[in-house]
Copies of this chain bind each other. A is one copy, B any other.
Amino acid sequence: MIHRVLASELAAHVGETVQVSGWLHRRRELKHVTFLILRDRSGLTQAVVPGTTGTTGGPGGPGGPTQDIPEETVLSFTGVVTANPQAPGGVELVAPSSGPEIEVLSSLAATPPLDVYRPTVTASLPTILDHAPVALRHPQLNAPFQITAASVAGFRGALDALGFTEIHTPKIVGSATESGANVFTLDWFGRPAYLAQSPQFFKQMMVGVFERVYETGPVFRAEPSDTARHLAQYTSLDAELGFITDHRDVMAVVREALARMVEAVGERAAAAVEVLGVRLPKVPEKIPEIHFSEAMAMLGLDEPDLSPADERTLSEWALREYHSEFLFVTGYPMVKRPFYTHGEPGRPRYSNSFDLLFRGLELITGGQRLHRYEDYVAALAARGESTEAYEGYLSAFQHGMPPHGGFALGLERWTMRLTEADNVRRSALFPRDLHRLAP
Determine the residue in chain B with the shortest Cβ distance to A371.
Answer: B106
Q: Interface stretch among A48-56, A131-139, A282-290?
A: A131-139
CB distance from A356 to the nearest CB of B (A): 21
CB distance from A60 to the nearest CB of B (A): 13
- Can you list 16 residue pairs at the A/B interface with Cβ under 8 Å? A74-B400, A108-B398, A134-B399, A136-B206, A142-B209, A168-B429, A169-B430, A170-B233, A170-B432, A172-B432, A175-B438, A185-B186, A189-B222, A202-B430, A391-B438, A392-B438
CB contacts (< 8 Å) of A391 on chain B: these are: 438-439
**Other-chain residue from B4, B74, B217, B401 in contact with A74 (beta carbon distance below 8 A):** B401
Q: Is A153 an interface residue (CB 8 A)?
A: yes
Q: Is A393 an interface residue (CB 8 A)?
A: yes
Number of interface residues of A (CB under 8 A): 95
Q: Check if B168 sits within 8 Å of A411, measured CB to CB.
A: yes
Q: Interface stretch among A159-167, A316-324, A360-368?
A: A159-167
CA of A206 to CA of B72 in the docked complex: distance in angstroms? 15
Q: Is A198 an interface residue (CB 8 A)?
A: no
Given the known interface contacts A145-B165, A189-B222, A209-B142, the answer about A109 and B373 at a Cβ–Cβ threshold of 8 Å is yes
Q: Check if A402 sits within 8 Å of B165, measured CB to CB.
A: no
Q: What is A's interface to B at a CB cutoff of 8 Å?
A: 4, 21, 23, 40-42, 72-74, 105-110, 112-113, 131-134, 136-137, 142, 145-146, 148-149, 152-153, 156, 160, 163, 165-175, 184-189, 191, 193, 195, 202, 205-206, 208-212, 217-218, 220, 222, 224, 232-233, 235, 243, 371-374, 391-393, 395-403, 411, 428-430, 432, 434, 437-439
Leading 8 A-B pairs by shortest Cβ distance: A392-B439, A186-B186, A174-B437, A133-B396, A109-B373, A41-B211, A110-B398, A109-B398
CB contacts (< 8 Å) of A133 on chain B: these are: 205, 208-209, 392-393, 395-396, 399
CB distance from A198 to the nearest CB of B (A): 14
Q: Specify which of A373, A393, A399 lies most central, judged by the most chain B CB atoms within 10 Å of its CB.
A: A399
CA of A108 to CA of B399 in the docked complex: distance in angstroms? 5
Given known contacts A142-B209, A185-B187, A191-B437, what 10 new A-B pairs fall within 8 Å (CB)?
A41-B212, A105-B371, A106-B371, A108-B398, A109-B374, A132-B392, A136-B209, A148-B168, A149-B167, A171-B218
Q: Check if B210 sits within 8 Å of A41, measured CB to CB.
A: yes
CB contacts (< 8 Å) of A73 on chain B: these are: 400
Q: What is the count of identical protomers in the complex? A: 2
CB contacts (< 8 Å) of A400 on chain B: these are: 23, 72-74, 106-108
**Other-chain residue from B105, B399, B439 in contact with A402 (beta carbon distance below 8 A):** B105
Q: Check if A439 sits within 8 Å of B393, measured CB to CB.
A: yes
Determine the residue in chain B with the shortest Cβ distance to A130.
Answer: B392
Q: Check if B74 sits within 8 Å of A167, measured CB to CB.
A: no
CA of A184 to CA of B195 in the docked complex: distance in angstroms? 11
CB contacts (< 8 Å) of A148 on chain B: these are: 168
CA of A186 to CA of B183 in the docked complex: distance in angstroms? 11
Q: Check if B21 sits within 8 Å of A402, measured CB to CB.
A: yes
Q: Check if B210 sits within 8 Å of A142, measured CB to CB.
A: yes
Q: Check if A217 sits within 8 Å of B220, measured CB to CB.
A: no
CA of A220 to CA of B171 in the docked complex: distance in angstroms? 9
Q: Check if A403 sits within 8 Å of B105, measured CB to CB.
A: yes
Q: Check if A429 sits within 8 Å of B165, measured CB to CB.
A: no
Q: Check if A189 sits within 8 Å of B224, measured CB to CB.
A: yes
CA of A431 to CA of B142 in the docked complex: distance in angstroms? 35
CB contacts (< 8 Å) of A145 on chain B: these are: 165, 167, 209-210
CB distance from A73 to the nearest CB of B (A): 5
CA of A105 to CA of B244 in the docked complex: distance in angstroms? 11
CB distance from A263 to the nearest CB of B (A): 15
